[in-house]
Amino acid sequence: MSDNSCSQSGLIQEFLDAQTDKMLKSRLDAHLKECPTCRKEFAEFESLFQSLGKSLKIPETCPDSALMAKMRKEVAAKRPDSKDSPLAWFERLFAVFFRPALVLAVVLLIFSFVIIRSRSTLKPDMTTPVLSHSSLNLEKNEVDVVFSLDSDSVKVGNKLIKVAELKSFEAGPAYALPESSVVVLRSDASKIKLTKAARFRLARNSFELLNGHADFSLKGDHKDFELKTDFATVSVIGTEFEAQVANNQLSVKLSGGKIVVKTTNGSVMQLDKPMQSVVVDRQGSFVEISETNKNGALPAVSGQPDRGPADSDSGGNLENTF
Amino acid sequence: MSDKSVRDCEPEQDKLLLKRFIAGEAQAFDSLVKKYWSQVYFVCLKYLKKPECAADAAQEAFVAVFSSLETFDFSRSFKPWLLKIAINKAIRLQRNNRSALSLNVEHAEVSDASYDPAGTFAGKQLLDDCLERLCLDDQILLMLRHSLDLSYEEMAIVLDKPVGSVKGELFRTRRKLKDALNIFYGKEVEAGV
């Protein structure tokens, strides 16, 4: 096979492909004057191009009328704007309107399902007080935890707070507050005072004291409210009492009203006289029962409240550390 | 080769006919089919060899193109788009038929070549034989350029390749063809290359 080593040889075929290019023609003319190899090749390619033009010329043909009619019919059936076929018109209508409407309907259905589900989880049981708002005020060293029957909002002091704001509070895992923080239950008059070391967890209608000391002052109807500890549950009926969890023991002292202490092993004791107190151990046994306490302190629980790591939070609960 | 000014007008004329067809003028469809039937049919025939298969492929291509004009980019030429679809149809049918064979001119032996002392390529029979012995891709390249008068850019669209590749392959094919013909005419010996 021959090989034209001239760097300008590509110009020949390019020129023969587009002979109207004047720039190309002048460049090629200039080169051909100087290059005999390309002159010879130009003549050969020119002859080849002429021969290819003749040899590859395709004859003019036309589809017969039957084939034309068949193609017309097929195209008409497949065209989206075809007026010939009612079925095609319906398909177009489906594509333009029904398909997006169907997709929209499915999306709306899923969306409303999610909304209903989320509302149903937020909506409180009308017979049970639920935790509807918690707020943290570092300036006043206060934490307010409010139970309410109102599903939409709750009044804290003079401020009306929407339940939805609770979401922002749920994200916070733990808070360090000075002593004498105040937890408000249901009304401004019902308070639980917590020591600095107290750790608690709030469920739907219970206050779970994990560790530390809490003073309860609850007014009004709190029959659904319970104080829970690892060792015993204290049911409350309009009362004031103190509770302390430390060294694997729960100490409870009644100030007023009436409480029922039910331990984990099934023992039950009702305290209905002021200054009555009990101590419950880990096994759920009443280890000390005292009718009065002259200095007003809780029955002796040795050592300071534990400050161990927070227990893993159960779903929907809120745990704070003081 | 057709006149360049005529070739430049073709795309605009095609687009006018297409818009008339979209507007509902059935006559525009007939005009475009008649205008391009030969080109589409012979390209398909190159792949499929059998006239009835080529007619089927051409028919499918026209139906496909006119059924999906919404996807056509009116800023581009109609002809390369039509030919690209036709070639795809033909290749699909060819795969089904498995009847097309190709030979490479470099490995072919031409026994009936006659020496042409005039040194031209006027021996049409010899040229046709050499063309038939080119591989199918090379034959298509030459057909797109010399039968259908496509530019390098249009060929690139049809073959879905870069313009530079198409140009290089076309140049190599023609040189291969010229060299083969030179051998048969004994010009290679005369030139002492």
pLDDT tens digits, residue range A36-86?
888 888 888 888 888 888 888 888 888 888 888 889 888 888 776 655 556
Residue type, A12: I
Cβ–Cβ below 8 Å for A60 and B38? yes
Asked if B39 and A58 come within 8 Å (Cβ–Cβ), the reply is: yes
Digit-coded pLDDT (tens) for B84-111: 999 999 998 888 776 444 444 443 344 3
Residues from chain B contacting residue A37 (CB–CB below 8 Å): none
Percentage with pLDDT > 70 across chain B: 77
Q: Is B156 left (phi over 0), alpha (psi -120 to 50) or beta?
A: alpha
Residues on chain A touching B37 (C-beta within 8 angstroms) = 61-63
d(CA A172, CA A161): 18
Contacts of A6 in chain B (CB under 8 A): none
pLDDT range class, residue A27, cuts 50, 70, 90: confident
Chain B segment 38-67 residues within 8 A of A by beta carbon are 38-39, 41-42, 55, 58-59, 62-63, 66-67
Structure tokens at B114: 């006659």
3-class DSSP string for chain A: CCCCCCCCCHHHHHHHHCCCCHHHHHHHHHHHHHCHHHHHHHHHHHHHHHHHHHHCCCCCCCCCHHHHHHHHHHHHHHCCCCCCCHHHHHHHHHHHHHHHHHHHHHHHHHHHHHHHHHHHHHCCCCCCCEEEEEEEECCCCEEEEEEECCCCEEEECCEEEEHHHHHHHHCCCCCCCCCCEEEECCCCCCEEEECCCCEEEECCCEEEEEEEEEEEECCCCCCCCEEECCCEEEEEEEEEEEEEEECCEEEEEEEEEEEEEEECCCCEEEECCCCCEEEEECCCCEEEEECCCCCCCCCCCCCCCCCCCCCCCCCCCEEEEC
Q: What whole-number distance in Å separates Cα of residue B43 and Cα of residue B53?
A: 12
CA distance A104 to chain B (A): 25
Q: For the whole model, what pTM was predicted?
A: 0.48
- Quick one: pLDDT band at residue A318, thresholds 50, 70, 90? very low
- Rounded-to-integer distance, Cα B116 and Cα B66, Å: 48
Chains A, B: CB contacts within 8 A come to 101
CA B164 to centroid of chain Cα atoms: 18
Contacting B residues, span 2-21, partner chain A, CB-CB under 8 Å: 4
Question: Given this model, what pLDDT does residue A300 score?
Answer: 52
- Whether residue A71 and residue B191 make contact (CB cut-off 8 A), yes or no, is no
Q: Smallest CA–CA separation between B34 and chain A, in Å? A: 6
**Out of A40-54, A121-135, A207-221, which region has the weakest mean confidence (pLDDT)?**
A121-135
Q: Is the model's pLDDT at A309 over the cut of 90?
A: no
Answer whether B66 sits within 8 Å of A75, measured CB to CB. Answer: yes
